[in-house]
Chain A
């Protein structure tokens, strides 16, 4: 069974204080790993897809990286508007194409 574990569950940062969110996964064969951002009362917003170990993608202050066991979402010099819940999901190759989601990391950035 595919499993996704995100840590920490919650993270509080000061504006400008860089940090990383972790997504550890267990899957028979990885087809893709996805990162989403969800604001309260809204649907998740797609951020990145990573397909193979060593791959990196960036968008503004966010950078996602991937290894064979985990993915990191690095947040550089965060701003209060980066406050949200960040969700990670994995999609296995072969069989069901339905992604398995983690429980998310709730990020609060204080001004």
Chain B
């Protein structure tokens, strides 16, 4: 099956610093990548969708300047949380799709901002 990796799996940072999360599709070309945020015992909240070489499309209420998304190639997308604050602490999950069908998810990144 299709494999998506995410790095790092866990990160702790101090308030005010920036954190970059990488998402890679290992065995297929991802024309579209999605970034989600998930709070404990809640479902996935879509943050943004990105297509290779294009600007990301952000969901309503998601700050573009705070959550920077780059989709530089067909196998790599990055999410940078800028000037992180404790309220940004969450579980961030990326997914990738090679077409219009199912998404394949990464293992997630647990971000803790102290």
- Specify which of A43, A44, A45, A98 is in contact with B49 (CB 8 Å cutoff): A98
Complex Cα–Cα for A42 and B105 (A): 9
Find out whether the CB atom of B108 lies under 8 angstroms from the CB atom of A103: no
Q: Is the CB of A49 within 8 A of B102?
A: yes
Give the size category of A's interface with B: 20 to 34
A3 vs B82: C-alpha distance when bound (angstroms): 32
Q: Which residues of B contact A102 (CB under 8 A)?
A: 43
Of the 9-residue stretches A13-21, A22-30, A31-39, A71-79, which lies at the interface with chain B? A31-39
- A87-B44, A101-B43, A101-B44 given; A46·B102 CB < 8 A: yes
Q: Which of B9-67 contact A (CB under 8 A)?
A: 32, 34, 41-44, 46, 49
B8 within 8 A of A: no
Contact call B107/A104, Cβ cutoff below 8 A: no
The residue that A34 contacts in the complex, of B42, B102, B108, with Cβ under 8 A, is B102
Let me know if A43 and B108 touch, CB within 8 A: yes
In the assembled complex, how far is the CB of residue B90 from the closest CB belonging to chain A, in whole angstroms?
Answer: 13
Would you mind naming 10 contact pairs between A and B with Cβ atoms under 8 Å apart?
A: A43-B105, A46-B1, A46-B103, A46-B104, A91-B100, A97-B100, A99-B103, A101-B46, A102-B43, A103-B43
Which B residues are closer than 8 A to A by beta carbons? 1-2, 4, 6, 32, 34, 41-44, 46, 49, 91, 93-95, 100-108, 110
> Residues of A with Cβ closer than 8 Å to B?
31-32, 34, 36, 41-46, 49, 87, 91, 97-99, 101-104, 106
- 19 new A-B contacts, CB < 8 A, other than A46-B2, A106-B41, are A32-B101, A36-B105, A41-B91, A42-B107, A43-B93, A43-B105, A43-B108, A44-B93, A46-B1, A46-B103, A49-B101, A49-B102, A87-B44, A91-B100, A91-B101, A98-B34, A101-B43, A101-B46, A104-B43
